[in-house]
């Protein structure tokens, strides 16, 4: 693979992972690493062997709303945690949303095998678009950072702490804030 193509792919992967991470970190209480992994997951289709054929191709099965819905249903069934399901939805949804704007688009109506592609044909991984996406993701992270330390902790621990709240901070809690 030529260097330019390799750099393009690396930049695209990093952008999807970072956008997923920022959305989950900024808007949910789930582990942001989930956003990183699921933001990147659809492009796992690059690993399908070439002889598998449709829909196990790039921008095939893993780039469809049906796949996303199935994955989220599975995630919810396993975790029984709405925050985790929401995090998964944001991460994989952001990947499909970005790719759907590219010239190749995504397969909206899978399993129907139609060529319908309402994409506006934007260069979503061009340097300008990449800078825009990274700025937006950094903005979400910066916004989250202003929201105070309670958001930094596991929500279950938070609930526990509110219940047993003491009038003075314990040395442990102070250490955690640093």
Residues that bind Zn ion (CB under 5 A): 42-43, 99
Residues 6 or more apart whose CB falls under 8 angstroms from that of 36 comprise 17, 18, 20, 21, 24, 91
Angle between helices 65-79 and 82-100 (to 10 degrees): 170
Query: Least distance in Å: CB of 2 to Zn ion?
Result: 20
Between 97 and 138, name the residue whose CB sits nearer to Zn ion. 97
Residues 6 or more apart whose CB falls under 8 angstroms from that of 153 comprise 161, 176
Between 66 and 79, name the residue whose CB sits nearer to Zn ion. 66
Between 29 and 43, name the residue whose CB sits nearer to Zn ion. 43
Residues 6 or more apart whose CB falls under 8 angstroms from that of 90 comprise 20, 23, 24, 27, 28, 35
Query: Least distance in Å: CB of 59 to Zn ion?
Result: 7
Query: Least distance in Å: CB of 24 to Zn ion?
Result: 18
Query: Least distance in Å: CB of 107 to Zn ion?
Result: 12
Nearest to 145 by CA among 67, 50, 32, 55: 32
Query: Least distance in Å: CB of 102 to Zn ion?
Result: 8
Between 28 and 64, name the residue whose CB sits nearer to Zn ion. 64
Q: Determine the 3-state secondary structure of 167 from DSSP.
A: coil
Between 29 and 91, name the residue whose CB sits nearer to Zn ion. 91
């Amino acid at each position: 693979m030529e260097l330019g193509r390799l750099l393009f792919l690396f930049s695209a992967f990093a952008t999807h992972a970072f956008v997923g991470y920022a959305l989950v970190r900024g808007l949910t209480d789930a582990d942001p690493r989930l956003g990183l992994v699921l933001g990147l997951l659809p492009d796992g289709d690059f690993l399908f062997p070439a002889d598998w054929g449709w829909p196990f191709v790039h921008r095939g099965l893993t780039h469809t709303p049906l796949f996303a819905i199935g994955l989220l249903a599975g995630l919810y069934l396993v975790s029984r945690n709405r925050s985790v399901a929401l995090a998964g939805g944001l991460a994989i949804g952001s990947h499909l949303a970005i790719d759907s704007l590219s010239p190749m688009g995504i397969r909206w109506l899978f399993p129907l095998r139609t060529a319908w592609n309402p994409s506006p044909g934007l260069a979503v991984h061009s340097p300008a678009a990449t800078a825009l996406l990274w700025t937006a993701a950094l903005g979400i992270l910066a916004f989250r950072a202003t929201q105070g330390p309670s958001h930094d902790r596991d929500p279950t621990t938070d609930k526990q702490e509110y219940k047993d709240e003491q009038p003075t901070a314990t040395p442990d809690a102070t250490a955690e804030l640093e």
